[in-house]
Amino acid sequence: MIFSEVLKSHAEPLVKEIIQHPFLTDITTNTLAPAAIIAYVQQDEFYLSQYALALKAAADLAPSPTIAHVLMPLLFEPNSESIAHTWLLKSIDISQVEQLPTTVPNPTTQAYIDFLFANKSKDFFSLITALLPCAWVYPEFAKQLVPQEVTDNPLINWLQLYDNQFPDLLKMDLATVLFTILDQETFTQSKQQQLLAIFLQGCIYEWHFFDATYFQKTRLLANTSTITMEELMNA
């Protein structure tokens, strides 16, 4: 099994939990509270600004000019997600992100950002593995949650964007590129375990990000997912 498939197979139980999170189930039923939408957009705007910096750092740390050249066209992909935020806000009659009050990152958002940059200080492959969950989880839940029938739910466009149904607005290529880079490298068993732990922790942060914005949490709580890191590592 190639390494990317090892990562995905271990993370599958957590992806299932993310898909069942009320933030996403409320998206599918058009019942997501305006407060949750606003909190999500505010936090995601901040997170993506830092994610873009971490992605730029990955390009700078690339072990070869070829890999750097592959990453460079993707550096602006996080900024393209503003259209997703606009669509969410329009569903509650807010026309643009700039109308929202200025906010600071909640503890979960800050912890996730710190996680990215902590892995930057390790090495290139640790950093791109930390970047992968955000790039991979969204299209994974979108392809399962986008309804097959036509719907008047205005929030479905948000899911369709991450299902790559609007490639002229946002091309969901980043995860594929990063997985390919990992698959082209030969890692020791010890390094594979290290990268697997980073990938799973990032997926856990994805669950926490939805949870913190859905409930507008103002402090960082211990992991309340029913899937433990030990279970994920042994999957």
| Maximum separation of any 2 CA atoms in the chain, in Å | 52
Contact 54, 116 (CB under 8 A): yes
pLDDT digits (tens, 9 = 90+) for 2-43: 999 999 999 999 999 999 999 999 999 999 999 999 999 999
- Nearest-angstrom CA–CA distance, 70 and 66: 6
Read off the tokens for 154: 């205005």
Q: Is 1.20.910.10 the CATH number for 3-233?
A: yes
Q: How far apart are CA 231 and CA 72, in angstroms?
A: 36
CA distances from 107 to 66, 113, 119, 222 (A): 37, 10, 18, 12
Cα separation, 47 vs 45, in Å, equals 6
Please give the share of the chain, as a percent, with pLDDT higher than 90. 76
* Chain segment 68-95, per-residue pLDDT in tens: 999 998 888 777 788 999 999 999 999 8
CA angle, 216 as apex, 214 and 217 as ends, to 5°? Answer: 115
Q: Is 28 helix (H, G, I), strand (E, B) or coil?
A: helix
Q: Residue 87 is encoded by which pair of tokens?
A: 């669509």
CA 40 to CA 156: how far, in whole Å?
A: 16
What are the pLDDT digits (tens) for 17-28?
999 999 999 999
pTM for the structure as a whole = 0.91
8-32 b/e with 16+ CB inside 10 Å = b? bebbebbbeebbebbbbebbbeeeb
